[in-house]
Chain A
Amino acid sequence: MQLQLDNIRKKFGDKPVLKGIDYTFEKGKIYGLLGRNGAGKTSLFNCLSGEIRMDSGGVFLRQGDVSQPLGEEDVGYVFSLPVLPEFLTGYEFVKFYLDINKDKIAGARTIDEYFEMMRIEPEDRHRLIKGYSHGMKNKLQMLLFIIDRPPVILLDEPLTSFDVVVALEIKNLLRSMKKDHIIIFSTHILQLAADLCDELVILNNGLLQEIPSAMLQSPEFEQQVIEMLKDGHGDA
């Protein structure tokens, strides 16, 4: 399975943010998307998830010889700032989500089993989401893609809000899931990217640029990435 980005362009007002992105992501790998502030990482994710429309270009999901436009249901998106309906309890939200996705979910677990997977305590499950901490909200968002397992998973700065224990759990979870999914996550943190990702791509000056895998292990990795980011001025 491949995710093919074909000449994606997006302008905000007069300012071009994505300037014709071509790239192919593959199943079984975790991709780290690096970029400076304002480089357009979130805009790219929003285009992929269908939340905003791209000005031109297309995104396709290719399985074998069949290539289809990427649908909104093919994407699981974890936002950097958790966005959840706060008038519901965590339990109610997961029940609602299970209800509406029941056709897609094979061998579904019970709601409590899902909560246990994410290590959300029983007493927290029946509290309004409004009262959840940032980290708990993020866990709940992640639970959604664990439930319906979409082929493409986008994570926008996901691990920064977790404490070290939860961060490690999530990292392990992502590693265990990667064989069936295309996982792309954006981050500013080079160390995290080098540690977790199989491939690194840089969004710079409105274009995606691949970092050779060999460079990931090199001692000059950090310096070289910074040079690459500086060259493009991050002004896309």
Chain B
Amino acid sequence: MLRTLRSIMEIRGASGANRLIYYFRRIPLLGRMMKEGMYARAELKQALTVIVQILRVLWGFLGKFMYLGIVIYWPVTAVGNDLPPQEQYGLYLQMILLLSFALAGVSSAVILEPKLDKYICVKLMRLPARAYMRSTMTLRCLSFGIYFAPAMMVFAHMLQAPLWQGALLALLLASWRTLCEALHLWLFDRTEIVLVKQTAVVWIVLGPGFILGAFMLYAGVSFIEPEWLFNLPVVLAILLAGGAAGLYIARYGNYRKAVDAVSKIDEPLLNMGRMMKDAQAKDIRSDEEQAVLRPGHAAYEDKTGYAYLNAIFFARHKRLLIQPLQRCLAGCAVLLCGGLLALALSPELFIAPAQYLRSGMLVLIFVMAFITTGEKACKAMFYNCDMSLLRYGFYRKQGAVMSNFRIRLARISGLNLIAAVAIGLAVNLPLLLSPADWIIWDAALFFMAVIGLALFYSVHHLFMYYMFQPYGTEMNIKNPFFMVVNSLVMAVGGVGLVLRSNAEFFAPAALVLALVYAVLALILVRRFHAKTFRLK
């Protein structure tokens, strides 16, 4: 088994090292220092392999700290900061039991997980399936407990519980999850069902589970006592069940079938690129896919050139572009009805939100970023239209690029402005009718802000697409600046949110900024498109 494990680690290490070289070479400026010949330098790659393994182990520990810290400890202490430590600890244990024991036991079993590593080792490198699975599962079960132990001990200590409870909890969790792995395998053996791939079932468990978790946090009450978990019979039962499950996994005889079931060559989860491509291909309306399309009856027949091209593009991507808008409009309708109902029942409810909105209008930066159509539309433009047409000289000419850019900007802005107006109405109507301190001037500022932001994001997404053209032909984002600038825009919004800003300044500023951005975008795209708007 050790030899198999060593082979697996070597394969993982080498592919990790190759990946490290690959991504390092893509860092702007710095990447040039590493030549392509690095892939062939065995001694250097050996060193990189060791570094990769060390990073992997460190990440193993760090990941558990992050998970427990961000998902469990922080929310528990934030909502229960007025609770005594004993109760906070109870709440913390309760969340771990729910998320790590119950929910993850269903959704995160790895024994039947489709994984590239499994495909490479068993199918391509011809490692025996049984040896591969036994080795990887042994490593997984042991490392799972080891990675969790320090984090569990630290957080137990921070909640004033004994350290041994943290260590024991890690052991119990590892043991419990081994039992879950065995149950998944047993289910597959009996019924050929790969539970982790049954998305509907998994979400039927996860959905109510998350709601229960949110409720537990909201209620801030712990229903369990630590003693219920840390007593000899319970501990022994879990450890024995885990041990028995480990034996079942070790002795299981039909791993070939278990591996085959999840490492077929057409397994979509093994090939994220293809999965995304497939998902993206669905964006073209399927009802037109096989149909014979007759000319002469469509709304775009009277158009010519780029207007014609874009009219067809937008018509055939309705699902992608119009559906989010329809959802937004439906949401606004619900918000408006809810608002009017609340107005009828309890008008004074609006006083506090009106106060907040006036000073916290910057929150719209995030709301509009979420609602506006743009990034997905640009992605569809690239993969369904520009990726092929950019290979033709005529399509790269300035006139063509600018004509396309203007038409697209108008279409996307139009969609986003409809959403902006709907939000403006849904929010302002109940507020204006309520006794809250919200006058026409406030409503006008709100409208100005949403319209400004809708325009801003319309320009922003399209401008980013034309200036950075981040997409590669394999559905990967190839330009790191794209991510950096996008994150910066969000960060500026975040800083503004913390600092607060009054609506009198923010709303006109948003509108002016959007208009200036639009003009700048037109100038810059005209100037630089030949360098930036190309296939990468």
A49 to B389 Cα, complex, angstroms: 14
Q: Which of A13, A86, A87, A101 is the one whose CB lies under 8 Å from B394?
A: A101
* B499 contacts A by Cβ under 8 Å: no
Q: How long is the Cα–Cα vector from A107 to B305 in the complex, in angstroms? A: 19
The reply to whether B289 and A128 form a contact with Cβ atoms under 8 Å apart is: yes
A102 vs B298: C-alpha distance in the bound complex, in angstroms?
Answer: 22
Contact: B316 with A91, CB < 8 Å?
no
Number of inter-chain CB pairs below 8 Å: 79
Chain A residues near B195 (CB, 8 Å)? Answer: none
Are B384 and A86 neighbours in the complex by a CB distance under 8 Å? yes
Shortest Cβ distance from residue A2 to the other chain B in the assembled complex, whole angstroms: 20
| Chain B nearest Cβ from A198, distance in angstroms | 26
Instruction: Give B534's nearest chain A residue, CB to CB.
Output: A51
Contact present for B293 and A87 (CB under 8 Å): no
B312 A100 Cβ-Cβ under 8 A: no
Q: A73: CB under 8 A from chain B?
A: yes
Q: Is the CB of B289 within 8 A of A99?
A: no
A235: CB under 8 A from chain B? Answer: no
Cα(A8)–Cα(B37), bound, Å: 25
Separation of A85 and B37 alpha carbons in the complex (Å): 37
User: In this assembly, does B393 line the interface, its C-beta being within 8 Å of a C-beta of chain A?
Assistant: yes
The docked-state distance in angstroms from the alpha carbon of A13 to that of B309 is: 37
Residues on A with C-beta less than 8 A from B316 are: 87
Please give me the residue from chain A that is nearest to B387 by CB atom: A83
Tell me the interface secondary structure of chain B in the complex: helix
Q: Which residue of A lies closest to B301 (CB)?
A: A95
Q: In the complex the two chains form, is A128's CB within 8 Å of B293's CB?
A: yes
- Quick check: is B308 within 8 A (CB to CB) of the other chain? yes
State whether the Cβ of A179 lies closer than 8 Å to any Cβ in chain B.
no
A89 in contact (CB, < 8 A): yes
> Would A100 and B306 be within 8 Å (CB), given that A50-B393, A92-B312 are in contact?
yes
Give the distance in Å from the alpha carbon of A85 to the alpha carbon of B381 in the complex.
10
What is the CA–CA distance of A51 and B308 in the complex, to the nearest angstrom? 25
Q: Which of B294, B309, B393 contacts A126 (CB 8 A)?
A: B294
Please name the residue on chain B nearest to A49 by beta carbon: B393
User: Are B289 and A131 in contact, with the CB atoms below 8 A?
Assistant: yes
- Show 27 A/B contacts (Cβ-Cβ < 8 Å), sorted by A: A14-B35, A49-B393, A50-B396, A71-B393, A72-B397, A73-B393, A73-B394, A77-B391, A77-B393, A85-B385, A85-B388, A86-B384, A87-B284, A87-B312, A87-B313, A87-B317, A87-B385, A88-B309, A92-B295, A92-B312, A96-B308, A100-B305, A100-B306, A100-B400, A126-B295, A127-B292, A131-B289
| Chain A residues proximal to chain B, CB less than 8 Å | 13-14, 49-51, 71-73, 75, 77, 79, 83-89, 91-92, 95-96, 99-101, 123, 126-128, 130-131, 144
